[in-house]
Structures are given as structure tokens and as C-alpha cells.
């Protein structure tokens, strides 16, 4: 039987999520971006990927970050952790590194603006081996194979158990 306390814990879990993001580039034709949403306990909430036009790897990583933040908004998250294997994006978003590229400045400013809609957003760097699903989805998107798991509608956890 579910108590009111357990239900509040479930709702709180929904409002705090981790978004694993990755960008991929190959050659000169296309790029890919992917974002995977997970609860603090590791349950999958949804994922999106996009095929993008030609760009640099760091631009693709920023597009993946923006895709992840959009996914977090769609899920109704208040507190978001962006997990990325791009040390450049993580350090720039944490304010530890300056953004020198004019093309990246625009993407950085856009990401900072979106970050402002959440209660809190943190950025964490991980090795590529700890970002396997986002990496695979970005690579598939790069090749034109878009694989989606549509996010559960906001509030789906609060409806569990009646």
C-alpha cells in the first residue's frame, strides 16, 4: 500500500532527473545529437535524437545539451543534471572555461538562457564509456537512423498506485 510520503518521494524523483547527452560528427555531411533522461535511481524516462547539418564536434555537443534541456522541460523537471563526455561543454557551462569561438558563443548563450527556466542545473563530465547509450543514439542519428523513446507525460509517477 502506498502512503502519502511514498507518493511525495515519487513526485520528487520525477522532478529531479539526469540527462545524458552526446554529439557526434563524421566527415563533412552530417552530425548527430542525442539526449537520454533518467531518474536518480537510473530508470529511463525517455530519449530523443536528431540528425543535424554539418558542424564541429563541439557544436554538436552543444546541440545535444540543448536537446537534453528541452527533454527535461518536456518531462517537467525542476532540477536537472546534464551528464556529458564533452569536457569543453561541461567546463564552459560551469564557467570554468571561456567560450572563444563565435559559433560556440551563440550556442552557449542559448544554453544559458534555457538553464534559467529550471530551479537548478548542474553539469558533470564523464568518460565516454559511462555515456554509452547517448553516444550510440548520436551515432545512429548521424547515419540518419533516429531512434526515439517518447518521454512519459509530466506527472506520470504521481498517478502510480491510484
Express each pLDDT in 20-77 by its tens digit: 999 999 877 899 999 999 988 888 999 999 999 999 999 999 999 999 999 999 999 9
Any domain includes 159: no
Edge-to-edge order in the sheet of strand 16-26: 44-53, 30-38, 16-26, 79-84, 120-125
pLDDT-derived band at 15 (thresholds 50, 70, 90) equals confident
The range of the structural domain enclosing residue 140 comes to: 12-154
Question: Could you tell me if residue 2 is inside a domain?
Answer: no
Q: What gap in Å lies between CA 22 and CA 43, rounded to an integer?
A: 19
Give the total number of structural domains in the chain. Answer: 1
Report the candidate in 98, 91, 44 with the shortest Cα–Cα distance to residue 71. 44
What are 78-104's pLDDT values in tens digits? 999 999 999 999 999 999 999 999 999
Judge whether 161 lies within some domain.
no
Quick one: CA dihedral 133, 113, 25, 146, positive or negative? positive
pLDDT-derived band at 135, boundaries 50, 70, 90: very high
pLDDT digits (tens, 9 = 90+) for 142-158: 888 887 887 764 454 44
Give the domain CATH number at 90.
3.30.420.10
Q: Give pTM, 2 decimals.
A: 0.85
Give the model's pLDDT for residue 131: 94
Q: What are phi and psi of 100, to 5 degrees?
A: -95, -35
Residue 24 resides in a domain: yes
Answer whether residue 7 is part of any domain.
no
According to the model, what pLDDT value does residue 156 have?
47
Residue 36 is inside which H or E element, if any?
strand 30-38
Residues 49 and 64: their CA atoms lie apart, in Å, by 8
Kindly give the residue spans of alpha helices, DSSP state H, lying in the chain: 4-15, 57-74, 87-93, 102-115, 132-142
Residue 50 lies in a domain: yes
Task: Please give the helix or strand (H or E) that residue 2 lies within, else none.
Answer: none
- 97 domain-assigned: yes
Q: What is the mean pLDDT of residues 102-109?
A: 95
Is residue 3 assigned to a domain?
no
Amino acid at each position: 500500500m502506498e502512503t502519502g510520503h511514498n507518493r511525495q518521494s515519487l513526485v520528487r524523483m520525477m522532478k529531479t532527473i539526469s540527462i545524458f547527452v552526446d554529439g557526434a560528427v563524421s566527415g563533412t555531411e552530417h552530425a548527430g545529437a542525442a539526449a537520454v533522461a533518467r531518474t536518480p535511481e537510473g530508470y529511463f524516462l525517455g530519449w530523443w535524437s536528431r540528425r543535424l547539418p554539418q558542424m564541429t564536434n563541439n557544436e554538436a555537443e552543444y546541440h545535444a545539451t540543448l536537446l537534453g534541456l528541452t527533454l527535461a522541460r518536456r518531462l517537467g523537471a525542476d532540477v536537472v543534471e546534464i551528464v556529458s563526455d564533452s569536457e569543453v561543454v561541461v567546463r564552459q557551462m560551469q564557467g570554468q572555461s571561456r567560450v572563444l569561438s563565435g559559433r560556440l558563443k551563440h550556442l552557449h548563450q542559448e544554453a544559458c538562457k534555457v538553464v534559467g527556466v529550471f530551479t537548478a542545473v548542474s553539469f558533470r563530465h564523464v568518460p565516454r564509456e559511462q555515456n554509452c547509450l547517448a553516444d550510440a543514439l548520436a551515432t545512429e542519428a548521424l547515419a540518419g537512423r533516429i531512434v526515439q523513446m517518447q518521454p512519459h507525460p509530466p506527472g506520470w509517477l504521481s498517478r502510480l498506485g491510484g
